[in-house]
Amino acid sequence: MKQGVLMQYFEWYLPSDPHLYQKVKADAQHLFDIGVTALWLPPAFKGIGGTQDVGYGVYDLYDLGEFYQKGTVPTKYGTKDEYLQAIQALQQVGIQVYGDIVLNHKMGADGYEDVKASEVNQHDTYDIERQNEWIQVPTLFTFPNRHQKYSDFTWDWSCFDGIDYDAKTKRHATFLFQDKTWDSQVDNENGNYDYLMGADLDFSNHRVVSELKRWGEWYLDTTHIDGFRLDAVKHINASFYQEWLYHMRQYTHQELFTVGEYWHGDVQKLLQYLTEVNYSLSLFDVPLHYHLYEASRSFGQYDMSQIFNNTLVQKACMNAVTFVDNHDTQPQQGLQSWVLDWFKPLAYALILLRKDGYPCIFYGDYYGIEKPSLSGQNQVIDRLLYLRQYYAYGQQNDYFYDRHIIGWTREAYGLACIMTNQNGGQLYMYVGQQYQNQIFYDYLENVNETVTIDDKGYGLFTVQDGSVSVYIPKK
């Protein structure tokens, strides 16, 4: 059985033509062959930007590329039929599919409503700056071109607790609707970080929660996906997703693996959220991403022995999805924190060849990015995926004693990984007495010299400057 590897199969600047779903379908067998076991597909529903919407400006959750809305039938990634065919193609070769779920907000309303609201300080949303004024807001969602197919639910202002625009005065600010309160189980940045963008869903409204459960049932029945990636969970009442996931799992009688995006560099924030949701889902290891980012840009001064300190994979490995970069961290994005190319092989070795964490590889790292033009590193990632699939098993022995040269071994099939962010050197590491007198070589071909394992099961392994080498037994 393969060790789990998730792949995020999109980046922010993908062109809308050709459709991504067509590429997914054609790529399914290749992805399985290289060792990918699950694919995270982008948000599938119609967004405010039509074919230019990456998927996070959600308009209609029931439109998966089926109705003429926002100037188009297909989404940026294709039609509903293409989406379903892509999912089926992946599952037929043995790859699970996770849907990207965006429930925090809605955008692109079909009509405006007059409502009383208070303007709040954007840096402290508990601080009311202007109280109870009439504003005009885009909060009426009737989806006229869907003609109530699948759902007759109409979203009005009562379904939301705030918004960022008053059409009457053409003023951009953060508004809290009268008789509403921000959700309490959210991140405390900005005082309370319930509000993120668009028309912010009110998760204390029972009608809203019931509709989202009905939509979840419909989405699972329609797509037959295997799990979820949840967007912006730090802005949504923690109790909602615990309840919603329980309902979806009871409905399907399936595990429905779920990973949430709680974007914070402090691991204590992530651990607190996991406690609040009773560890019912996993989270992306944002602290580890920032460690990788800093290490890649520190001109060799980063202490590599501390690379896993205060990360989710260290503190709660069973709930950690490790990653190097994603669509939000790529260049020209709001959370830009791109791990430099020279460090990418080291970073991917750190998430793919160790026993803890569920690693996620990024489309942009594998295939490259169009804007700005960045080359993919599929050759080295393919090799690391091969090593994960066939060699990264068994007892793990860590050698994290030096500030710059670190390494570890896996005993089951013989693997020794050594890397440095500075000058090259050597580590004397134990791979197991069963390998005595066997010859190990660097599968990544960064070091030509081989290593002969001594009678105690140790070898002296070499790494070049700013590089990584992974040694395995010669056949």
Residue type, 449: E
Please tell me which residue in 161, 231, 325, 442 is annotated as part of the active site.
231
Decide: 62 and 153 in contact? Cβ < 8 Å. no
Secondary structure class of 130 (helix, strand, coil): strand
Adjacent-strand bridge partners of 429 = 459
Ramachandran region of residue 207, left (φ > 0), alpha (ψ -120 to 50) or beta? alpha
User: What is the CB neighbour count within 10 angstroms for residue 272?
Assistant: 14
Adjacent-strand bridge partners of 96 = 38
Q: Which long-range contacts does 427-431 make (Cβ < 8 Å, 24+ apart)?
A: 427/399, 427/402, 427/460, 427/461, 427/463, 428/458, 428/459, 428/460, 428/461, 429/397, 429/399, 429/458, 429/459, 429/461, 430/397, 430/456, 430/457, 430/458, 431/457, 431/458, 431/459
411 assigned to active site: no
Structure tokens belonging to residue 118: 């208070």
Residue type, 113: E
Residue type, 404: H
**Helices (H), ranges, 305-438:** 312-315, 344-352, 363-367, 378-390
Secondary structure class of 20 (helix, strand, coil): helix
Residues near 336 by Cβ (< 8 Å), separated by ≥ 6?
A: 329, 330
Q: What whole-number distance in Å separates Cα of residue 325 and Cα of residue 336?
A: 9
Q: What whole-number distance in Å separates Cα of residue 55 and Cα of residue 12?
A: 10
Adjacent-strand bridge partners of 39 = 7, 97
231 assigned to active site: yes
Exposure string for 409-423, b = 16+ CB within 10 A, e = fewer: bbbebbbbbbbbbbe
Decide: 419 and 351 in contact? Cβ < 8 Å. no
Q: What whole-number distance in Å separates Cα of residue 28 and Cα of residue 110?
A: 38
Residue 134 has, within 13 A of its CA and on its CB side, a CA count of: 4
Please tell me which residue in 27, 200, 261, 365 is annotated as part of the active site.
261
Query: Whose CA is closest to 402, among 302, 326, 318?
Result: 302
Decide: 264 and 315 in contact? Cβ < 8 Å. no
Q: What whole-number distance in Å separates Cα of residue 161 and Cα of residue 140?
A: 13
User: Which residues are part of the catalytic machinery?
Assistant: 231, 261
